[in-house]
A and B are shown apart, each in its own frame.
Chain A
Amino acid sequence: MEELHPGSENLAPLVGRIVAGDPSAEALLVQLFSRAVTFLLRRLTRDPSAAEDLYQETFRLVIEKVRAGELREPERLPGFVSGTARFLALGAARHGGRQRRRQGDPEAAETAPDPAPGQLARILAQERAAIVRRVLGELRNDRDREILARYYIADHDKEEICRDLNLSDLHFNRVLFRARQRYKELFERRQEAAAAQAPGSRPSPSPPTTAAAASGRQENE
């Protein structure tokens, strides 16, 4: 099935249908922005369960406001959705911060989110690290490993790395593309194995999509 994305839709009719009370339009809105909302909330909260709660709240609030006609420019719907998600995530973070500051309050302690990563998040991080180690081990030389380390860990700029290592943009892009591509393959293979062992289980967060390959190819071009 072709993947839905807001860019392929004419947003004005969609907003109009929601204002008119069309439930299928509301479902389509959720479908269109689900992936981006999930990504943003997880990035902001660093907590999959908190992101899941905010995910529901984000769409509830967006649909409520669109129904009420508060979105006057339909083409701004993507920004409206992302802004709502960010607003709620920051509000939740502020609320959690206040509760943590009131640690002497038993009621606050009961409702305050645990700042430590959950067990699922730790397991996912370990699996992710294991896959990255394998990717790094499969690289052909130390220089390619250095490229990845400087780019992703030391957060050096592409230009700086290419200059220091006397690399062309093409080589740099190729190293990153191949590493991400291999990571994606291994990640999807692990996902398939996990799904085979536990049918019906939910997929892990942030699986690389097939579009990632297209993105990598664009970099090489």
Chain B
Amino acid sequence: MTAMDHGYAEAHGVVKAYLGDRLGDSERDAFEAHYFACATCMAQLEAESDFREGMLDVAAQEAARAAADHARLGLLAGLARLSRARRLALGGALLLALAVPFALLLTANGDLRRELLAERTARVATPTPQTLQTPQNAGGDRRLGVERPGDTRQARAGAGGEAAEAGGPQVNLPLFTLAAVRGGEEAGREPVNRLPLLATTPSAVLDLELGAVDFPSYGAVLRDESGRAIWQARGLHPDGRDSLVLLFPTRMLPAGVYRLAIDGVKADGRETAVAVYPFRVVRP
């Protein structure tokens, strides 16, 4: 390795050649030995190298940006070169790609709605005591079973209507055809009608055969053992079988003796006792 002096390095542009890897091995080693001992060449090397690296970094960034722009332009140019039919086909494919997930989403939404409805129906078909003991339900019972009485089928339909109002049918409701006591019963005597009501039974249907329908309308009063009226109604009309069919929530009928009195209401409003239906509710 021959020694290199500073004058030679400057005169021959050795710094730039060194940074460009254009020196032979011998000249390179000589220059390295030189700049390890030359403050001027060392400083020039650092300045040139750093600025050169920065310029190359900028060039690389510009090249990358240009390549990205070229790729975007290439895509647009490729689309532009397609025939009209192919552009339409491509557009259709894109729409299909968007429509299929949307349709699947709608289908899934419909399934969820049906599941929700089924869940709600199942809950109503098994009513809880709280829902049956609400005053609104009792009023509903009065409307269905007493104020617009019909035959037993109507009562069943009424029960079904209540259930439908609540969201579903009620099955195997207890139906009792009560026997009337026309002349009044002796005090303390056991009622002729016995109504066993399970605690799980939400409602009971009472079928009252009137025997004679001589009044434009009828009134009814239900009293408990102490004589307190627990329910009453007016403007009732018998059905085609001359019967009044009433649906009672069992919560209104705790175990005990009851007396259901039916009065005929004349056109002038006067009332006449028609029949009395004593019964005992038992809770097995």
Assess A149 versus B55: contact at CB under 8 Å? Given A208-B50, A209-B46, A215-B44. yes
Min CB gap B239→A, angstroms? 91
* Segment at the A interface, from B27-35, B109-117, B250-258: B27-35
Min CB gap A46→B, angstroms? 10
Which of B1, B34, B36, B54 meets A33, CB within 8 Å? B36
Q: Which residues in window 41-72 of B have CB below 8 A to A?
A: 42-59, 61
Choose among B13, B34, B54 the residue with the greatest number of A CB atoms under 10 Å from its CB.
B54
Min CB gap A130→B, angstroms? 9
Residues in B neighbouring A83, C-beta threshold 8 A: 29, 32-33
- The answer to whether B212 has its CB under 8 Å from any CB of chain A is no
Which of B13, B39, B49, B54 meets A43, CB within 8 Å? B49
* Segment at the B interface, from A106-114, A152-160, A191-199: A152-160
Q: Which residues in window 26-55 of A have CB below 8 A to B?
A: 33, 35-37, 39-40, 43
Min CB gap A31→B, angstroms? 13
Residues in A neighbouring B37, C-beta threshold 8 A: 5-7, 78
Chain A residue at smallest Cβ distance from B33: A79
Q: Which residues in window 128-151 of B have CB below 8 A to A?
A: none
Min CB gap A182→B, angstroms? 10
Min CB gap A51→B, angstroms? 14
Docked-complex contact B46 and A206, CB < 8 angstroms: yes
Docked-complex contact B36 and A132, CB < 8 angstroms: no
Chain B residue at smallest Cβ distance from A125: B57
- The answer to whether B40 has its CB under 8 Å from any CB of chain A is yes
Residues in B neighbouring A152, C-beta threshold 8 A: 51-52, 55-56
Docked-complex contact A81 and B36, CB < 8 angstroms: yes
Residues in B neighbouring A43, C-beta threshold 8 A: 49
Assess A35 versus B57: contact at CB under 8 Å? Given A132-B51, A184-B47, A216-B47. no
Docked-complex contact B51 and A39, CB < 8 angstroms: no
Residues in B neighbouring A40, C-beta threshold 8 A: 32
Count of residues in B whose CB is under 8 Å from the partner chain: 35
**Bound complex: CA A43 to CA B18 (Å):** 11
Assess A180 versus B48: contact at CB under 8 Å? Given A209-B43, A211-B39, A211-B43. yes
Docked-complex contact B53 and A125, CB < 8 angstroms: yes
- The answer to whether B20 has its CB under 8 Å from any CB of chain A is yes
Which of A35, A79, A158, A184 meets B32, CB within 8 Å? A79
- The answer to whether B10 has its CB under 8 Å from any CB of chain A is yes
- The answer to whether A167 has its CB under 8 Å from any CB of chain B is no
Assess A7 versus B48: contact at CB under 8 Å? Given A79-B32, A153-B55. no
Docked-complex contact A129 and B46, CB < 8 angstroms: no
Min CB gap A79→B, angstroms? 3
Query: Interface code A187-221, partner B: CB below 8 Å = 1, 0 otherwise?
Result: 10000000000000000001111111011101000
**Bound complex: CA A135 to CA B39 (Å):** 26
**Bound complex: CA A36 to CA B43 (Å):** 10
Min CB gap A154→B, angstroms? 9
Residues in A neighbouring B49, C-beta threshold 8 A: 39, 43, 206
Docked-complex contact A36 and B61, CB < 8 angstroms: no
**Bound complex: CA A33 to CA B48 (Å):** 19
Docked-complex contact B44 and A36, CB < 8 angstroms: no
**Bound complex: CA A5 to CA B37 (Å):** 6
Assess A187 versus B50: contact at CB under 8 Å? Given A33-B36, A78-B33. yes
Docked-complex contact A3 and B39, CB < 8 angstroms: yes
- The answer to whether A17 has its CB under 8 Å from any CB of chain B is no
Min CB gap A2→B, angstroms? 11
Docked-complex contact A36 and B59, CB < 8 angstroms: no
Residues in A neighbouring B55, C-beta threshold 8 A: 132, 148-149, 152-153
**Bound complex: CA A208 to CA B50 (Å):** 8
Can you add 9 more A-B contacts, CB < 8 Å, to A82-B33, A211-B42?
A81-B36, A132-B55, A148-B55, A152-B55, A206-B46, A208-B46, A209-B43, A214-B40, A214-B43
Closest 8 CB pairs of A and B: A211-B43, A79-B33, A132-B54, A78-B36, A212-B47, A129-B57, A215-B44, A152-B55
